[in-house]
Amino acid sequence: MNILVTGASGLLGGHIVSRFAGAHNVTGVDRNPWWGERCIQFFQGDLSESAFLRDIILRSSPDVLIHSAGMIDVDGCENNPDQALQSNVEITSTLVENTPPQCKFVYISTDAVFSGASSFWQETDEPKPLNVYARTKFEGERATVKASTHLILRTNFYGWSSGRKKTAAEWLHQALRDGEPINLFDDFFTTPIYAADLARCLEATVNSGYRGLLHLAGKDRVSKYEFGLAMGRLMGVSMSNVRRGSLAEAKFAAPRAKDISLGTERARALLGFEMPGCEQGLRRFLSDQAKPLSQR
C-alpha cells in the first residue's frame, strides 16, 4: 500500500512512519526534517499552503492517509484560536477534499474532547470540549467524516521524540533521574499509551478494515501522580522530590477536563488483544530510550 503520513517528524508521526515503512511505500510530510533511520520518501513543507498539500497527495497517490499533524499545545491554542482553527480544522478539511475517494482517511484525535465529568469514556458518549484545542480537534473529526472512507482515532500517548524538543514524558524522566522537585497532579486522569504501542495498534486497526470512530489508549486509568510514581519505581529512583499537586492549583490559559480516560472495549474486541497497561508501556518506554526508531 501507499501510505501518506502528515506530521511525520512528530512524536507519534515518526513512530507511525517507522511502523509502516517495513512493509509499505510510505511518504512523510512535515515542517521539520525526518529523524528516523528508515529511508522513505519525505517532503518538508507547510500543509497550510494548498498547492503544496495538493502536490503531495498527487505525488504520493495514497491508499491510506494518516493525518497526525496539528497544533497540540493546549494553552497555545487558547491564546491563538485562529492558528488552532487553521491547523486542526481547515487543513484537515482541505486534506479530506483532496484525498482520492478510494483512500482511507485516518484522523488522529484526542481524549480531550470530553468534559471530564465521567471516567472511561466510550465512543458512544457525547463530546463536550472545554477549550479551544479540544473544540478544534472535535471540529477536525466532523471534517473527517466527509471522507468516503474514514477512521477517527482518539488517544493519549507519550514517548521519546526526535530531541528537537522534550515531550512531557521525557521531561518527567529527566526530573526523576536528576531529583528535581516537581508537582504532579493527583486529580487529572488519562489512559496513556506508549507511542510505539499505539503505532502497532493503529497498524492492526488499518489492516482490519475498520471504519468509523475508535478509542486507542492504555488499559489503565491513572493520574499524573500515579504515572510518575510508576515511572520512578521502574527507574529505581527516589520519589522524595515529587509532590502531589492539584489541577485546581495550576494557572493555565485553557481550562482542563479532570478525567479524560478512554474506554477501549471496542478496540479490544476488534483487535483481539488487550490494550497495554501503564506499567507494561512504561517498561517499553524505558527500555527503548537508546534504541533507534525502527527498533522500538
CATH number at residue 180: 3.40.50.720
Residue 20 has pLDDT above 90, yes or no: yes
Strands (E), 45-186: 64-67, 104-108, 149-154, 157-158, 182-185
> How many domains would you assign to the chain?
1
- The rounded distance, in Å, linking the Cα atoms of 223 and 292 is 29
DSSP letter, residue 90: I
Model pLDDT, residue 226: 97
pLDDT level of residue 164 (50, 70, 90 thresholds): confident
**What are residue 189's DSSP bridge partners?**
223, 259
Q: If we measure between CA atoms, which residue out of 29, 52, 296 comes closest to residue 157?
A: 296
Task: List Cβ neighbours of 268 (8 Å cut-off, separation of 6 or more).
Answer: 274, 275
Q: Tell me the three cell numbers of residue 124.
A: 458512544
> Which residue range(s) make up the domain with 132?
2-295
pLDDT level of residue 237 (50, 70, 90 thresholds): very high
Model pLDDT, residue 165: 84
- The rounded distance, in Å, linking the Cα atoms of 60 and 127 is 34
Model pLDDT, residue 155: 98
3-state secondary structure of 69: coil
Tens digits of residue pLDDT in 198-210: 999 999 999 999 9
**What are residue 213's DSSP bridge partners?**
152
- Look-up: residue for cell 510510505? 26
DSSP letter, residue 230: H
Q: Tell me the three cell numbers of residue 225.
A: 501522580
pLDDT level of residue 39 (50, 70, 90 thresholds): confident
Q: Tell me the pLDDT of the chain averaged across its residues.
A: 96
Model pLDDT, residue 22: 85
Tens digits of residue pLDDT in 67-95: 999 999 999 999 999 999 999 999 999 99
- The rounded distance, in Å, linking the Cα atoms of 196 and 16 is 8
Q: If we measure between CA atoms, which residue out of 74, 70, 68, 79 comes closest to residue 188?
A: 74
- The rounded distance, in Å, linking the Cα atoms of 296 and 284 is 8
Model's pTM, two decimal places? 0.96
- Opening angle at CA 273, ends 270 and 279, nearest 5: 130
Sign of torsion over alpha carbons 165, 169, 170, 172: positive
DSSP letter, residue 236: T
Model pLDDT, residue 162: 87
Percent of all residues in the chain with a pLDDT value above 70, rounded to a whole number:
100
Q: Tell me the three cell numbers of residue 263.
A: 474506554
Model pLDDT, residue 213: 98
Averaged pLDDT for residues 24-44: 94
Model pLDDT, residue 38: 86
Angstrom distances, CA of residue 296 to CA of 69, 92, 159: 21, 29, 10
